Amino acid sequence: MEKLEKEQHSCDCPNPKCKKEIEYTPYEIFLKKELKCKKCGSGYKLESSEIYHLKTSLNDYEKARYKFYQTLDKLISNADEIITQK
Ligand SMILES: [Zn+2]
């Protein structure tokens, strides 16, 4: 599991009398497809298509991150000169 999936987020409970924050991770969204307040049980039922978009974004992010580290490695291995201190 990737770090981004485990990142903690929060949103306001939709019940105006409650005012508690709902804490969640993207991983929980993928798993449960809803967010529920632990205090009052109100919450949000999430759109499957939006969850799909979130997954796609996460995959794109991982691909970009992988490419970044690859490029960084390549940059050093392709360096023109090695500087040696005498
Ligand atoms: Zn609540």
Distance, CA 36 to ligand 1 centroid (Å)?
8
Ligand 1 centroid to Cα of residue 63, in Å, is 37
Cβ proximity of 35 and 22 under 8 Å: yes
pLDDT score, position 3: 85
Instruction: Kindly indicate the confidence band of residue 16, based on its pLDDT and cuts at 50, 70 and 90.
Output: very high
Q: How confident is the model at residue 73 (pLDDT cuts 50, 70, 90)?
A: very high
The token duo for 27 is 């991983």
Q: How far is the CA of 67 from the centre of ligand 1 (A)?
A: 41
CA of 79 to the centre of ligand 1 (A): 57
pLDDT at 68 over 60: yes
What are the tokens at 19?
A: 């005012």
Q: Which residue has the tokens 């939006």?
A: 50
Q: Summarize the chain as % helix, strand, coil (round to 5).
A: 50, 15, 35
